[in-house]
Structure 1
Amino acid sequence: MSKRLIIWLAAIIVVIIIGAGSLFVVKEGEYKVVLKFGEAVRVEESPGLYLKIPFIESVSQLPKFQMTYESNPATILTKDKKPLIVDNYTVWRIKNPQNFLKTVQTVSGGVQRIDEAVYNTVRRKLSEVNYDNIISENTSRGNINDDITKDVSDAFVKDNYGIEIIDVRIKRTDLPVENKQSVYNRMISDRESIAARYLSEGDEESRKITSKADRTATELLAQAEADAKKIIAQGEQEAAKIYNEAYGKDPKFYSFYRTLQSYVTTLENEPVIMLPIDSPYTRILLGQ
């Protein structure tokens, strides 16, 4: 092989090496930060092929997508000094790769800063709330999560870490094992007290309703009896009026009619009656 050919081959190899060292690819969902002597000079985030100065510039890769960090459970005291085991998760992303590399440098470094900031904020927020308000059905947990998210996000913006905090959520609030039974017993006692109060209030309301119903029934019966007596009196008055009018029109017929009514009453049970033969009562019976 000639000397010239060797030189050409060496030159081609050098060109290939230099060319390969000057190209880099940016993929979807990642940042490529170009470093010059260890300092970030530019960031490429759109997918494609890019150039850099070989041997002088290097490339560092960082994730562009959202990431989730789940903290380890930690014990925190509430406002009323009740211990709680709390764990939470944080949704975050790298917003400014250059600041990120200057401050925390790596994803694991960013996670460590997030863990510290979230723990301190959660501990401070829960120390302002009583235990019962945290675990009750009408909890302000949603507001607490929003407040924690805002405080942590503001802290990272202030410190210029290049990190965006999207959401911080408390996943679980639990009692230490040694405290569970006493708290459960107290909760049971509280619920039994509430149930007894509800039963007492129900009994009192039942007595009120029954008393009102009895009073209404008594009033209705009294009114009905008064109305009945009034109607009977009116009927008797009307009957007497009719009798008087009938008697006035034909006294003899009325006397005869009354006598017949007395016969019906007298003979109702088929009694044995001794009457003088010449009495008017007997003559009527005999049709005389």
Structure 2
Amino acid sequence: MVKRIGALVVVVVALILLLSSVFVVKEGEYRVVLRFSEAVKIHSEPGMKFKVPFIETTTSLPRYQMVYDDNKPTEILTKDKKPIIVDNYTVWKITSPQQFLRTLRTISSAESRIGDNVYSTVRRKLSEIEYGDIISENTARGDLNAEITREVAETADRQNYGIQIVDVRIKRTDLPEENKDSVYERMISDRQSIAAGYLSEGDEESRKITAAADRQARELIAKAESDAKMIIAEGEEEAARIYNEAYGKDANFYQLYRTLESYVTTIQDETIIMLPVDSPYTRILLGRE
């Protein structure tokens, strides 16, 4: 009976020792083995691991990227001393668990340090920019975010926290309630001024196009009239040549034809003409030729 109890005790002790020495590393976490509160080993691959029971302990740290957003928009003064409400978030991750535990120890402590650094950098960067440029549609917000990210990341590297700042983004910029109306009125006035400028430019361009079209039309009409006169002149010249060629074949007939034509032109309605009886014109008219 004593042997059985002793064997059972040994089994229980062995089981306790086994359970105390085994731990599981999950996906997406660092499992840090601590000996007297000092990190001695880091496990990042999922699976079952072992430690020295009762002497070593473990703690878990996230290996994935985390988003820090304290949801507390802060008021910052721009370069032209305009108050602006800024809300931002930070994406970060732990890269050195040992250094992280040595300097920051907890996630909440890390986020507090990150928040201080981000606020300081955002305040300084926005204080270098006028409010109109911040809210303008042409503002390179992407470049501003990149600059803030770079500076915050460099600060974290210098302080050797064992973390990496992946991205810092300004997700919202707004005005204090007491300043919104005046700024909105100024924005409306600016947009109306821009619209008036576009309309003025459009009218000027319209006048230029109309003037160019009128000038082109006058040039086309002038050229067409000139071409028409040349064609008429050429036609008249050709007709005269044909007449001369035809009439030159019989001079007497031509003279008679011209005389008859003159009768048609001269004797109209009640026209009275005094002619000598023996003149050639009269003899032809009387049929004596």
Shorter-chain TM-score: which interval? 0.7 to 0.9
Secondary structure, aligned partner of 1:49: strand
Q: Distance in 2 between matches of 1:233 and 1:49?
A: 111
Verify the 8 A CA contact 1:34 1:43 in the aligned structure 2: yes
- How much has 1:161 moved relative to structure 2? 0.8
Return the offset for 1:95. 0.8
What are the superposed Cα offsets for residues 233-279 of structure 1, whole Å, 9 maximum, x if unpaired? 45444544544444443221112222444466578x9x577899985
Q: Answer yes or no: is the 8 Å Cα contact 1:88–1:168 preserved in 2.
A: yes
Partner amino acid for 1:110? A
Give 1:139 deviation, angstroms: 1.4
Residue matched to 1:57: 56
Partner-residue secondary structure (3-state), 1:41: strand
CA RMSD of aligned residues (A): 2.8
Counterparts of 2:11 and 2:201, CA distance in 1: 97
For normalisation by structure 1, the TM-score amounts to 0.86
Range 226-235 or range 55-64, more displaced: 226-235
The answer as to 2:59 corresponding to 1:48 is no
Tell me which moved more, 251-260 or 30-39: 251-260
Aligned partner letter, 1:8: A
CA-CA distance at 1:60 after TM superposition: 0.6
Unmatched tracts of structure 2, length 5 or more: none
* 1:122-143 Cα deviation digits (max 9, x unpaired): 1111112222222222211111
Percent of residue pairs bearing the same amino acid type: 59
- For residues 16-35 of structure 1, the aligned pairs below 5 Å read 16-35=15-34
One-letter amino acid of the structure 2 residue matched with residue 151 of structure 1: E
Residue 167 of structure 2 corresponds to 167
Q: Which residue of 1 aligns with 2:10?
A: 11
1: CA distance between counterparts of 2:204 and 2:125? 43
Aligned partners of 1:19 and 1:215: how far apart in 2?
102
The answer to whether the 8 A contact 1:133-1:140 is kept is no
* Change over 3 Å in CA distance of 1:283–1:272 after alignment to 2: farther
In 2: Cα distance, 1:46 partner to 1:241 partner = 112
CA shift for structure 1 position 12: 2.2
Post-superposition Cα deviations, 1:61-113, rounded to whole Å, max 9, x if no partner, equal: 11111111123211122222222211122111111111111111111111111
Query: Which aligned pairs between 1:132-171 and structure 2 lie closer than 5 A?
Result: 132-171=132-171
Encode CA deviations 1:149-202: one digit per residue, 9 max, x unaligned: 111111111111111111111111122222222111111111111111222222
Does the CA contact (< 8 Å) of 1:22 and 1:52 recur in 2? yes
The residue correspondences of 1:111-126 to structure 2 (distance < 5 A) are 111-126=111-126
Determine the structure 2 residue equivalent to 1:214.
Answer: 214
CA contact (8 A) 1:96 1:163 kept: yes
Distance in 1, Cα, partners of 2:85 & 2:219: 64
SS state at 2:114 partner = helix
Q: Which residue of 2 aligns with 1:281?
A: 285
User: Residues 51 and 231 of structure 1: is their aligned pair in 2 closer, same or farther, counting only changes over 3 Å?
Assistant: closer
Specify the SS of the correspondent of 1:249. coil
SS in 2 for 1:14: helix
| Aligned amino acid, residue 129 of structure 1 | I
- Deviation (angstroms), 1:3: 3.5
Matched, 1:201 2:186: no
1:146 to partner: Cα distance:
0.9
